[in-house]
Amino acid sequence: MPIYIHNTLTNRKEEFVPQVEGKVRIYSCGLTVQGYAHIGHIRGAVLFDVIRRFFRKKGYEVIYVQNFTDIDDKIIAKAKHEGVSPASLAEYYISAYLQDEEEMGIMQADYNPRATHHIKEIIEVVEALIRKGCAYVVDGDVYFSVASFPSYGKLSKRSLDEMMIGARVEVDERKRDPRDFALWKSAKEGEPYWESPWGKGRPGWHIECSVMSIKYLGVPLDIHAGGQDLIFPHHENEIAQSEAFTGQTFARYWLHWAPVNLKGEKMAKSTGNVFIVREALKQFSPQALRLYLLSSHYRSPIDFDGEKVEEMERALERAREAEEKVDIALKGTADYSERIVELPDFGVYREQFYSALEDDFNTPRAIASYFSLVSEVGRVIDDFLPKPPTSVLLPLWSAKKLIQELKWVLGIEERRGGKEGRGIEGFVELLIKVRDKLRKQKLYELADEIRSGLGTLGIVLEDHPGGTIWRMGK
């Protein structure tokens, strides 16, 4: 089935046709690394993690680039304030961010290019733009001339006149046009710099993304993404520079996700109204956090609500319960009678799941079909949990595979805090056996002591007709 993507450029859903068949090339604007990542940042990363997994399941080869802008005014200011070099400050926050991503179960990008590693290429592109008459030099600064790019404003749907009115911030008299933006900024005293044909300086914002996306993905690339707040001016400027430079379409599909608000206002570093990822991970499991962020469509803003994340925690718990029951059924003794039990067709949920994602990555709908599947499985399995008839084993096994597949796409597989890799399974199972014998002898006091004792250690026991199961609690 075709995939539809809402394209900011046209403001409508369009069928996605990759430039090169079977291959998707994605550039997602990463952070300016001057602090820890907050929930708003990670929303986009989680979204694209699912999008990449989805494309892979659909048989596409995916190349995903997420950059780091590791030099800018704020980084310089903060580094100065803390008495460290801008480079080491940036590196610190880059590794912190990558760590956050890993904790969140986000697959690594194919490339994480940094602005400062591409100075040479940036200078080349700026030189080319000057040669083409699209940029000009003033006192060691280089500006892009917006007037030289007639379709400027096509992404953010702003006419040049409107922007003239809007340009009310202190106008730099040296610019030919107030809307012109810096490609290269000369270094002031004490600022880090690189040598260039225009003197010592550093790249402006915007240009690094053009250069790196073209370098790693070519033009036109398939999907260029970022938060909605990047539409203007960042992406608008990227289009201008890139298309003026290459003479070709820069990106074919522009995808922008909505902000995460906190207490009704946008979460943003500049206002201090933030909830950082590493703080959130102290309170919530990465799975619940992911599911929460994916439970609204990416183009709708979210007002972050920790209670809702806890609700997701409970929903996941229930889903795990159903999976456990399937495991018990598959492991237990089958009922070898001729009893034929017809199970519903679980395959419909698979179709629902993927068709939801095909429709502009509708993760809320995909999640709904995941939960429907899990509920349905949990419901039918209750009828025969002690001894499943043999007729049911194969469908049950494929249901389990399906559950695992959908979880993988959503990225909510258990990775930490699970049973595996802790080396305690043997002990717990031994205790469960002992407790079982105690229960049979009606020595409930001792049995309960074992259960509550394990509970203190974070291990939850649940007695089912088919036997006792255990899991890691909170």
Partner RNA sequence: GGCGGCGUAGCCAAGAGGUAAGGCAGCGGUCUGCAAAACCGUUAUACCCCGGUUCGAUUCCGGGCGCCGCCUCCA
Within positions 319 to 378, which residues make up the interface with RNA, using CB under 7 A? 321-322, 325, 359, 362, 364-365, 367-368, 371-372, 375, 378
x/- track of binding to RNA for residues 109-128 (CB under 7 A) = --------------------
Compute, in degrees rounded to 10, the torsion defined by CA atoms 216, 219, 220, 222.
-10
Three-state secondary-structure class, residue 93: helix
The closest alpha carbon to 43, from 316, 229, 250, 270, belongs to 229
With residues binned 3-state (H G I as helix, E B as strand, rest as coil), the percentages for the chain, rounded to 5, are 50, 20, 35
Give, in order, the Cα–Cα distances in Å from 84 to each of 80, 87, 175, 328: 6, 8, 33, 56
Is 266 one of the binding residues for RNA (CB under 7 A)? yes
Q: How far is the CB of 323 from RNA (least distance, A)?
A: 11
Judged by CB under 7 A, the residue of 270, 336, 342, 474 near RNA is 270
Residues 408-447 that bind RNA (CB under 7 A): 439, 444, 447
Residues 191-250 that bind RNA (CB under 7 A): 205, 226-234
Three-state secondary-structure class, residue 282: helix
Interacting span for RNA (CB under 7 A) from 54-62, 92-100, 301-309, 387-395 = 301-309
Q: CB-wise, 217 or 225, nearer to RNA?
A: 225
Q: How far is the CB of 29 from RNA (least distance, A)?
A: 4
The length of the chain, given as a count of residues = 474
Cβ-proximal residues to 376 (8 Å cutoff; 6+ apart), any chain: 344, 346, 349
Judged by CB under 7 A, the residue of 3, 9, 24, 29 near RNA is 29
x/- track of binding to RNA for residues 158-177 (CB under 7 A) = x---xx-xxxxx--------
Q: How far is the CB of 471 from RNA (least distance, A)?
A: 9
Q: What is the DSSP string of 137-151?
A: EETTEEEE-GGG-TT
x/- track of binding to RNA for residues 83-112 (CB under 7 A) = ------------------------------
Q: How far is the CB of 22 from RNA (least distance, A)?
A: 27
Greatest Cα pair distance, the chain, in angstroms, is: 91
Q: How far is the CB of 215 from RNA (least distance, A)?
A: 19
Q: CB-wise, 231 or 343, nearer to RNA?
A: 231
Tokens of 266: 């946008």
Task: Tell me the site size for RNA, rule CB under 7 A.
Answer: 86
The three-state DSSP-derived secondary structure of 148-163 is HCCCCCCCCCCCHHHH
